[in-house]
Homo-oligomer: A and B are copies of this chain.
């Protein structure tokens, strides 16, 4: 029974972790991601961290969570936004560099795997993991296993069209994608626009920073404190998120929907806000017993999911 290495490559930070054969986290090394460094810088960092972690331990496999699109079939990163990653054979690099069998998946799928195996989704037959961050990603577990879809694109709840919209989403459409209405980026935009155009109503928000520097963090903080303007902006955005969750419930009727990512840092305040919207859409036809809960592993969910990927290579399930 060998130990496992898990890697989580994100846009703001990266982590390398050592896990025991049962998936318990033994050690983590983490640091900030250098944007100017690009791919080669990141690979150097990972080489150093993994070498340090494996020094005295026999390792069986390595799993990697990548914070961007991954083609699971070819095990290549397909990210186009980050320099050097496009069409990069990341699993092959790990295999060649560390001599370890490796599997790579995107962070939303890894988050789903992590929460299902080790977190709030333990024991569920079906669940949906949502990462509410700058963007919105999702991963789907069905029959106890990750469902990746024909093009590896299942779970893209961030790009469900919810309404006709003036805003162009990161996917290029003006279809009122969830991400364009309820992501961290959308909340940043909304609070900035509101503070710039309504300085009088935004007086509490403007105590927290200049209009152009406000973010989702200040918005959530002010809403929690009961500032009416902040509450309205947050609740309106979360109503769109709730609508995306209702759609997910109608389609999948999962055991649980698990909320992770930075915006999920709003905690119970977020969950209550979603329930408030869902209550308005109750129908006698649907029991709607799907539980909406926060990720148990917090922002470690993708790293634990990467460990699960590694675990399944050593001991297929």
Contacts and interface: CB of A to CB of B under 8 A. Distances in A.
Given A147-B143, A150-B126, A157 B253 contact: no
Contact of A161 (B143, B281, B289): B281
Contacts of A252: 140, 147, 149, 154, 251
Listed residue (A156, A163, A255) with the most chain B CB atoms within 10 angstroms of its CB: A156
A133 interface: no
A161 B253 contact: no
Interface stretch (A29-37, A58-66, A167-175): A167-175
Given A243-B161, A247-B160, A172 B254 contact: no
A278 to B, nearest CB: 11
A246 interface: yes
A151 B250 contact: no
A161 B163 CA distance: 10
Contacts of A281: 161, 173, 175
Listed residue (A163, A171, A248) with the most chain B CB atoms within 10 angstroms of its CB: A171
Q: Is the interface of A mostly helix, strand, loop or mixed?
A: loop
Given A150-B126, A243-B161, A171 B251 contact: no
Contacts of A156: 250-251, 253, 286
Contact of A286 (B155, B159, B247, B286): B159
One complex includes copies of this chain to the number of: 2
Contacts of A161: 243, 246-247, 250, 281
Nearest to A145: B143
Given A243-B161, A286-B156, A255 B150 contact: yes
Interface string A161-183: 10100000011110100000000
A285 interface: yes
Interface string A60-86: 000000000100000000000000000
Nearest to A71: B287
A78 to B, nearest CB: 10
Interface string A232-268: 0000000000010011101111110000000000000
Contacts of A288: 151
